[in-house]
Amino acid sequence: MTHAATVGGERFRFADLRELMAKATPERSGDQLAGLAAGSARERVAARQALADLPLATFVQQALVPYEDDAVTRLIIDGHDARAHAPVAHLTVGGLRDWLLSDAADAATLAALAPGLTPEMVAAVSKLMRNQDLIAVAARCRVVTRFRNTLGLAGHLAVRLQPNHPTDSPAGILASVLDGLMYGAGDAVIGINPAADSLPELTRLLHLLDELLQRHAIPTQACVLTHVSNTLQAIERGAPVDLVFQSIAGTEAANRGFGIDLALLDEAHAAALAQQRGSLGDNVMYFETGQGSALSAGAHHGVDQQTLEARAYAVARRYRPLLVNTVVGFIGPEYLYDGKQIIRAGLEDHFCGKLLGLPMGCDICYTNHAEADQDDMDNLLVLLATAGVNFVMGVPGADDVMLNYQSTSFHDALFVRRLLGLKRAPEFEAWLQRMGITGADGRLQPPTAAPALAASLARLLPGVAL
């Protein structure tokens, strides 16, 4: 179906829904690389004008990636909840934007609507929104999940403690963990990206983290971020697995490039549930995504990268995850060129994920060859915290020495929590107070607990001084 609009006396035509969606997208280098972007600002405005008039029903009737060719499309279409969608079924994309910004779209209404929205619908409406619109709507969406603590409550912000080390040194990892805990970080998860990928090494790291959590009765969860097939093998060998991690994408072909399909994720989800390691809940999955992943795998089907990112959230939604993390600037400037594009993408991803009912976090990050710096990350951190993001990263010094990229630090998380009066997960906050790390007001205390924690960590590593 052809779509058209006139702007400034010039008539623009868009051959199909994929072209319309792509050309309505805010400027970004990935869509330019793929040859999908609007050729001018005027063409982009025309595409948005035509998109605003498009009935939402179009996205149920027309698949951007063919149903018969793609498991993610089948998941989206077959899982669409028409009853939940009914309150907005009569609207256009522009009408949905207006409704979302109205007082009618409160937290309870948005939560009830989530199963009735498809990723393509939320991607489309995001293309019509200013940054402040994305923030305003996302801030009303609360998605609460539980494993050993409670994440996503209003007025709270969690932090993933990311103690990566270039050689997986236990001493280096535990030193970073201690640093993070003393800053009050780690309530989302203590999650290691391992440098090595052998099963014995992964199992060693899993035991290291489990002993740490058990010894100190820390009410959080641990994760070694390896391929899901490795985690399944670790579970089979009796390793202490809290969360199953996997990177996911928005097309079947891109997920195949990651070495996964829905059947494998189903198996992993069932295996993790069978462990019954969560004391408060059974949200056992941790997914990471990022705009540009399908394009980088040559699996984008001519669809813009932001829409494909939203489609990845349909995969995540199937498994009721504890955490979903858009690693927004990690792939590089080929896909998000500069700070402005990274900031916009982070706000889009958070908005789309929250509207679809996901517990969205963000790795607010950039690579060293991008046209971005830490000031851009400060801006995005404050914007996302205002928008109600569930969690962010805590990396020592904001510089990941293993993955070689720039993120946010323990101090950054402390800053934004203080600035906006945001709390940690309640169970984790209570533990920090028992340990003397924070006071009753949630503020850090003088490091009186540090010697006790350090001594206990050293006992995990006989002969290693921390």
pLDDT band at 448 (very low <50, low <70, confident <90, very high): low
Of the listed ranges 369-373, 424-428, 435-439, the least confidently predicted one is: 435-439
* pLDDT for res 452: 64
When pLDDT is averaged across residues 276-288 and rounded to a whole number, the result is 98
Reported as a single tens digit per residue, the pLDDT across 302-334 is: 999 999 999 999 999 999 999 999 999 999 999
* pLDDT for res 453: 65
Of the listed ranges 6-15, 68-77, 115-124, the least confidently predicted one is: 6-15
Distance CA 126, CA 148 (A): 33
pLDDT band at 446 (very low <50, low <70, confident <90, very high): confident
Query: pTM for the whole thing?
Result: 0.96
When pLDDT is averaged across residues 224-238 and rounded to a whole number, the result is 98
Higher pLDDT, 440 or 265: 265
* pLDDT for res 1: 77
Q: What are phi and psi of 43, to 5 degrees?
A: -65, -35
Residues of the chain with pLDDT > 70, as a percent, come to 96
When pLDDT is averaged across residues 42-50 and rounded to a whole number, the result is 97
pLDDT at 462 over 60: no
Cβ distance 147 to 242 under 8 Å?
A: yes
* pLDDT for res 242: 98
Reference 161, options 377, 358, 434, 400; nearest CA is 400
* pLDDT for res 347: 98
Reported as a single tens digit per residue, the pLDDT across 73-132 is: 999 999 999 999 999 999 999 999 999 999 999 999 999 999 999 999 999 999 999 999
* pLDDT for res 408: 98
Reported as a single tens digit per residue, the pLDDT across 367-405 is: 999 999 999 999 999 999 999 999 999 999 999 999 999
Please, what is the average pLDDT of the chain?
95
